[in-house]
Structure 1
Amino acid sequence: MIDTKQEAASCTASVSRAQRLAADATEAADVRRWSTHPDVVALRIERVRAQVDRLCWAGIILGLAFTAANVQSFAAAGSDFGSLPWLTAWLLDPTVCLVLLAILRAEQVTARYQVHTGRWVRAAKWLTLAATYVMNTWSSWAAGSPAGVVLHSVPPMVVFVAAEAVTDLRDKLTDAVLVALVNTAKPADVHEPATADRERPARRLFADYLADARLAWKPEVKVTPAWVREVTGCSRGLSSRLAAELSAEVAEGVRHGS
């Protein structure tokens, strides 16, 4: 009789443990499913994007603020303190910086949606950054001071690198969202959006851009990232991958053709 009770208690304990494990397994599956859901991934990436933007903007603005005094000194050219030329010299750095900040603010949006801004935008950004660098370091170069050149070169160079890097970072963060979508969504979900979503523009995938590049390619065309961006409208970050993939296909076709 005692053995029977002990066996029943043992079976009950085993069932309870199995139920707990089954519940844990179900919970773990739900956590994994939701943690890899495209919307959850997108939300996490948006939070990271916001942190990246705040940190980069803080660094860029502090760097430009540091350069303001040097540019003013360069523009004032020894004018008396408080004179009209001395006061007017303070307008030069904000003039350049405001144009640069306007470009960076626009790229903050275009990079998020992987829209190529064009050569003039990039040229304007480089011109403003180059002008800031030259005006900051000119006095040090003229005085022959290597320490001064290094000191006044660091902030403009940091601003230059940050301005270029933040655009690529936003582009890659958008790629991360798209990768999460491709890895979790069924093909029908990607290529045939639901009726409620048809009014919104469909997201283009790597294969879509590659198909456009294949159609536009001709034997006399050299496949480069710039050419891929021109014919597909993809981002800079994606164009390198597309160019490499299409170049490999072209080379493979040439080998088979020969």
Structure 2
Amino acid sequence: MVVMTGAESVEHVAAQVDRLCWTGILLGLAFTMANVQGFAAAGSQAWSLPWCAAWLLDPMVSLVLLAILRAEQVTARHGVRTGGWVRAAKWFTLAATYVMNTWAAFAVGSPALVVLHSVPPLIVFVAAEAVTDLRDKLGKAIVAAAPVPEAVAEPVRRTSFAEYLAVARAARKRDVVVTPAWVREVTGCSRGLSSKLAAALKAES
């Protein structure tokens, strides 16, 4: 039995979420393809040149949309923001898919058909917005769940004045001339603190 760590478990879920979201997006786009083809064919005879060419319209829009979504997913993962043209292209392709998919339903004035043909493109739209944010948040969850190395896990504590003074006092010999530079050398303290430590040591003499 393989036991996964917290980070591996989150990463496994992230991979599942990614696959399910993309599967839903692809199925949604596949559903819209037939409707868009009917819109573009506009009653052309089956297997005629206009009828065959109509099948190219939806893949043309969908491939551009998928390329943008994939690019946004990668850039978001690395904290890089895309420009306005990228956002405009995504919204335009989504809007074009929706309009072409629901045009006939609105034309006949059937609420049921409008709902039927609205759901797939809207699912694609919502998933397109969610998949990037989900991947980003799950990536942060993976980092948060990752085991921290023991050396890093030890709390970083600020060394106190008394502790620096004790180190300097222990390193001091009879023939040592106490100066801020000497204090910094033996304690590793900051320049500003070394003057105060040197003064404290001299006061003890």
- Could you say which TM-score interval applies, normalised by the shorter chain? 0.5 to 0.7
CA displacement, residues 63-114 of structure 1 (integer Å, 9 cap, x when unaligned): 1110001000000111111111111000000000000111122223223223
Q: Who is 1:109 aligned against?
A: 74
CA displacement, residues 183-242 of structure 1 (integer Å, 9 cap, x when unaligned): 9468968xxxxxxxxxxxxxxxxxxxxxxxxxxxxxxxxxxxxxxxxxxxxxxxxxxxxx
Q: Who is 1:256 aligned against?
A: none
Q: Who is 1:124 aligned against?
A: 89
Q: Does 1:44 align with 2:13?
A: no
TM-score, normalization: structure 1? Answer: 0.54
Q: Does 1:159 align with 2:120?
A: no
- Structure holding more helix per residue: 1
Q: Which AA in structure 2 matches 1:70?
A: N
1:83 pairs with one of 27, 40, 48: 48
Separation (CA, whole Å) in 1 of partners of 2:75 and 2:10: 17
The percentage of counterpart residues that share the same residue type is 70
Answer yes or no: is the 8 Å Cα contact 1:114–1:174 preserved in 2: no
Q: Gaps spanning 5+ residues in structure 2: where?
A: 154-205
1:128/1:49 CA distance change after superposition, 3 Å? same
Aligned length: 151
Q: Which AA in structure 2 matches 1:152?
A: H
The 5 Å alignment of 1:50-65 reads 50-65=15-30
- Higher CA-based Rg: 2
1:169 pairs with one of 134, 141, 158: 134
Separation (CA, whole Å) in 2 of partners of 1:155 and 1:176: 30
Separation (CA, whole Å) in 1 of partners of 2:143 and 2:55: 45
Answer yes or no: is the 8 Å Cα contact 1:72–1:90 preserved in 2: yes
Answer yes or no: is the 8 Å Cα contact 2:102–2:114 preserved in 1: yes
TM-score, normalization: structure 2? Answer: 0.67
The 5 Å alignment of 1:1-258 reads 40-180=5-145, 184=148
Answer yes or no: is the 8 Å Cα contact 1:75–1:89 preserved in 2: yes
Q: Gaps spanning 5+ residues in structure 1: where?
A: 1-33, 190-258
* Secondary structure at the counterpart of residue 81 of structure 1: coil
Q: State the structure with bigger RCO (CA 8 A, min sep 6), 1 or 2.
A: 2
Answer yes or no: is the 8 Å Cα contact 1:140–1:148 preserved in 2: yes
